[in-house]
Chain A
Amino acid sequence: MTGRFNQAIETARCTGRWQALLLCMALLLLPYSVWAADLDSALAALAGASLSKVPAILEEVEAVGGEAAVPAFTAMLEGDLYYRRSDKRVVRAVRDDAGQYQLSDPLSGASLGASEKSALRKVKVSNRVRIHLRGAIARLTLSSEDPRQRLRAAQNLLERPDEDNLPLLRAAIETETDPDVVELLQTALALNLLQTSGDSEARLGAVETVAGSLQPAVRNQLQSMVQRDDDGNYGEEDAAVREAAQRALVTIDSRISFYGSLETVFFGLSLGSVLLLAALGLAITFGVMGVINMAHGELIMLGAYTTYMVQVLLPQHIEYSLFIAVPAAFVVSGLVGVLIERSVIRFLHGRPLETLLATFGISLILQQAVRTIFSPLNRQVFTPDWMSGSLQINSVFSLTYNRLYVFLFALVVFFVLQLVLNRTSLGLNVRAVSQNRSMARAIGVRADWVDALTFGLGSGIAGIAGVALSQLTNVGPNLGQAYIIDSFMVVVFGGVGNLWGTLVGALSLGVVNKFLEPVTGAVLAKILVLVFIILFIQKRPRGLFPQKGRAAE
């Protein structure tokens, strides 16, 4: 939009509801725009338009249609806007479960029937176009009924300050009722003033307004005010305003650094929870049974592939797929675990180091099996919508949902496992066999059977870890290898045979790693953690929480 329009608006004194203002604007614009009969035909120009022409077309659509164009803009932003090859009609097309595309009018939403993909062409969208669309939607929806939409619109205006938006902001603040939106709008307005107003009093007032805000745009603005440019002049000429800006900056910086450390703790706990999930299964097979299971990583991988299979079999239910995948992965990996125990490991009792060799062979076989069955390519595992995005606490601190859920999930798995081991008869048997095998047998525990179940339990937990990892990383044949060494480190560090040790070990290693990372870089942080573990084990050979009593030897 150009200044001319705003001038026109000002002179027209359209200061009522924003809709009215827009209407005025649209009316005023009409003579200047290329004569477009109506919104439909303006939109129709998008069919087959090259990317460089799209912004001009969009401007016209916005001018002609006003808020009526928003559904079409939204569809375009989401990549759902197509045109029919036959008649060049611009339509909104959404793929249905049958693979057909359901067409509808992008403006009215009226259904236009179904179509094959081949009959459609996509309306080209690039980042520039998306930026343009978001700006347009923000301008047009500042008066929307939905407060969330208004919030987004205000945020957009805040991040892209433009002198032209001043009257728009003023008008919006007057009518706005939602306090969050008002705050954002006021910040946006203040920022705008700081950049444009010649009145130092007004600027001082604006600094006070933004002083508590953590918006990056605010910080950048304040920063630019107190810094000298190349000629040695401050960005802000008035000393009093500068001082106020400096004070505001100090407050903001200290708050940012506080949230920064909170964030690092969260990152660390999240990394730790991944380690915990990966290591829990091993804590059972290795810690309780003494089997050095090198195929543990591959059991995790099987869990991830199970998630993939669940999504392939139930393509309509991606949102719930993980709830099905968790028990499924437990069963699949658990059964494979039982199979491994029955066919190989039971022959190697009392020879822990040899279980390492045999399970190493098994891990090679499992990897190649997956490669043969699923191809060596990574598999596409979808993230349900509720796992995407982040919980925005303020503009510098947010917790990503996938990490948050994985963290909670790891804790749940841990406590359920504790319950199983300490409160069920299976747990009792497992502990009995691991503490004194021959005595347990003597009192009638079927040690063989318990072995198989224990190994199955550990493997099943590994499978569950695979479900969680499928949401964080690649699902491919090499998935397991990436976690096997870390898992061993965690178990050994925490103390073999002690689940609490594994919990504390995993979380603390995660946090330490994340605090080191910004200082040393990711690789060196990992190396330092490894060296630390090596030295720690020299000091305390039995780990953080050594097993006590006779079971220890």
Chain B
Amino acid sequence: MSVATTPVLTGQASAVHELRARAPLFLAVLFGITVLAAIGNLAFPQDSIFHVSTYTITLLGKYLCYALLAMAVDVVWGYCGILSLGHGAFFGLGGYALGMYLMRQIGDRGVYGNPELPDFMVFLNWQELPWYWYGFDQFWFALLMVMLVPGILAFVFGYLAFRSRVVGVYLSIMTQALTYALMLAFFRNEMGFGGNNGLTDFKDLLGFDLQADSTRVGLLLVSALALGLAYVASQWIMGSKMGRVILAIRDDEPRTRFIGFRTERYKIWLFVYSAVLAGIAGALYVPQVGIINPGEFSPLNSIEVVVWVAVGGRGTLYGAVIGAILVNYAKTRFTAVWPEAWLFALGGLFVAVTVFLPQGIVGLFRERLGGRRA
């Protein structure tokens, strides 16, 4: 069975062209909305019609993190045909790395007032901080780890998998095993990451109170910035020579290899890049939602991310963003107004999109616009 072919996608040249063409619009919409929301939250009083509630801000911030995660998946899946069912692993690791920093920041303001140990270690009688928690009291170190840990894991995994030419379905299932194993590991309390409860009760980040509206708005803007940068960087990669090879791998890996490219190298580095993006998304996500726990590693979460990308339309970057935001918005609304049956709607949406909209929502628009399709 041939897995690498993705007949529905557009050709190489147009894909890159399109990315460039859409970039200004994408960035304008992204920053337009976030800046407006920021002003609405900070500058207008509560009773003003232009006021944007803090609830909306945190929601938007969360969506943007998901969007970045979806973009990370799209980079490998949409452009290189690597369907990762384990990006939740990188997202979670990034989140834990920052979460550990935030835990250390609590210092002696925890419930037990222990300056060294996080609360969950105190009541489980841990005597001293495990070695892997060292350094996380420094922000720069945590930030480094946010990128390094997912990056190294992706490198090791990619090095092993791509060199032995594990492809297609096998690869997808291995990535799933990866995140599943991590979930089980993080659930263990002996690991020293708080077990099922995870890390929570954060106080401040770099001295900014996490419960202040201004911090929330700041985090939203940083998330938007990260998303924008990721878009530009990904666009640059896809436009470079490396990008051409990556697209060639997607369309026909054996042929690309026969031409003389070391395809596994390209795949490894793209995978690492994508994992780092996911890690950053996780790191931005944690201070905004206030908790990180092993549930983030759940294989179902990772599959859901893939579904966002599919719903939005893969191989376009902005499609992944649209998909992530739309599906999560639907989730937010449905769980509030239609709590008993929202899974029907969500499940139905996934089926409908894969069967009727193989190019996602973006594809629908493109067709209507009479298209830049090659």
Q: What residues of chain A have their CB less than 8 Å away from a CB belonging to chain B?
A: 286, 290, 292, 294, 344, 347-348, 350-354, 356-358, 360-365, 367-369, 372, 481, 485, 488-489, 492, 496, 523-524, 526-527, 530-531, 533-535, 537-539, 541-542, 553
Contacts and interface: CB of A to CB of B under 8 A. Distances in A.
Given A485-B177, A488-B173, A553-B2, 12 more contacts: A352-B169, A357-B306, A364-B343, A364-B350, A368-B344, A485-B180, A523-B187, A534-B160, A534-B177, A537-B170, A538-B160, A539-B164
A18 to B, nearest CB: 56
Given A356-B172, A485-B176, A361 B346 contact: yes
A356 B176 CA distance: 13
A290 B173 CA distance: 13
A542 B358 CA distance: 29
Nearest to B185: A527
Nearest to A533: B177
A294 B347 contact: no
Interface in B157-178: 157, 160-161, 163-170, 172-174, 176-178
B2 A350 contact: yes
Contact of B303 (A352, A360, A542): A360
Nearest to A345: B355
23 contacts: A290-B169, A344-B351, A353-B168, A361-B347, A361-B351, A363-B347, A364-B347, A364-B350, A365-B344, A365-B347, A365-B351, A368-B347, A485-B176, A485-B177, A488-B173, A488-B176, A524-B188, A526-B184, A538-B160, A538-B161, A538-B163, A541-B164, A541-B167
Interface residues of B, number: 50
A290 B169 CA distance: 9
Of A364, A368, A489, the most chain B CB neighbours within 10 A belong to A364
Contacts of A531: 181
B243 interface: no
Interface string B324-346: 00000000000000001101101
B355 A347 contact: yes
Nearest to A484: B299
B355 A294 contact: no
Contact of A354 (B166, B168, B177, B358): B358
A-B pairs, 4 with minimum CB distance: A361-B350, A364-B347, A365-B347, A368-B343
B13 interface: no
A375 to B, nearest CB: 11
Contacts of B1: 290, 350, 352, 553
A27 B344 CA distance: 75
B349 interface: yes
A541 B166 contact: yes
Contact of A530 (B160, B181, B340): B181
User: Which secondary structure dominates where chain A touches chain B?
Assistant: helix
B174 A534 contact: yes
Nearest to B159: A538
Contacts of B176: 485, 488
Interface of B: 1-3, 5, 83, 85, 157, 160-161, 163-170, 172-174, 176-178, 180-181, 184-185, 187-188, 299-300, 303, 306-307, 310, 340-341, 343-344, 346-355, 358
Nearest to A526: B184
Contact of B354 (A361, A488, A524, A538): A361
Contacts of B157: 534
A292 B177 contact: no
B172 A292 contact: yes
B347 A527 contact: no
A183 B180 CA distance: 52
A342 to B, nearest CB: 12
A530 B180 contact: yes
A356 B161 CA distance: 21
Given A485-B176, A492-B173, A356 B347 contact: no
A347 B352 CA distance: 11
A353 B169 contact: yes
A368 B307 CA distance: 18
A533 to B, nearest CB: 6
Contacts of A541: 164-167, 170
Contact of B349 (A350, A361, A492): A361
Nearest to A346: B355
B166 to A, nearest CB: 5
Contacts of B172: 292, 353, 356
Contact of A538 (B164, B187, B343, B353): B164
B355 A358 contact: yes
Nearest to B307: A357
A538 B163 CA distance: 8
B161 A348 contact: no
Contacts of A358: 350-351, 354-355
Nearest to A361: B350
A488 B86 CA distance: 14
B303 A356 contact: yes
Contacts of A362: 347, 351
A186 to B, nearest CB: 48
